[in-house]
Structure 1
Amino acid sequence: MADDKTKRDFRDRNRVSADENYEVEYFALEMGITPDQVRDLIRTIGNDRAALTEAARALKAQK
């Protein structure tokens, strides 16, 4: 059966949820940093995925 296109998902894919461990761990693995570093970034700059990606790349480059 085909998906019902009228039903919308409530999740926002442009954000990383600090409350969901799997999201934090996936983002950390994807960026090559630790989950604790991801949580620190979320605390300082917010949960916008684009801003987090940029900050994570800068953080990784510092090493």
Structure 2
Amino acid sequence: MAKKNDKKTIKVTQTGSPIRRDKAQRATLTGLGLGKMHKTSELVDTPEVRGMIQKVHHMVTVEAEG
């Protein structure tokens, strides 16, 4: 029997521009796998990723996955 992947994931989509933002916020977007408008990245839901999302919450939207 195959193991089911039990890790929850979230989809993060960039909705705001990093123009006129500080370097730390730009680096956070890059760390999330984003960098261009409307790009979506699927990430494992961990406290570290949630903290990164909180740092740039005004430039991203989050969708919960199963």
Report the TM-score when normalising by structure 2. 0.30
Q: Of Structure 1 and Structure 2, which has the larger fraction of its residues in strand?
A: 2
